[in-house]
Chain A
Amino acid sequence: MLREAPAGLPRQAELAATPFFPQERYQCGPAALAMTLGAAGIDVAPEALVPQVYVPEREGSLPPEMLAAGRRNGAFSMTVPPRLDALLAEVAAGNPVLVLQNLSLPWVPLWHYSVVIGYDLDRTELVLRSGTTARTTMALSTFEHTWARSQSWGMVTLAPGRLPRTAQEAPTVAAAVAFEQANGAAAARRVYAAALERWPQDLALLLGLGNSAYAAGNVAAAVDAFRRAVAAHPDSAPALNDLAFALNAMGRRREARAAAQKALSLGGPWQEAVRDTLRSIDAAPRRR
Chain B
Amino acid sequence: MSQLKNYLSAAVRIALGAVFIYAAVLKIADPVAFAGSVAAYRILPYFGSYLTAAALPFVELACGLLLVLGYRVRSGALIIGVLNLVFIAALASAIVRGLDIDCGCFKQGGEKTTPWAALARDLLFLAMTWFVLKAEARRGRGPEAGAGPEAPAS
A and B: bona fide binding partners:
no
Interface set of B (CB-CB < 8 Å, partner A): none
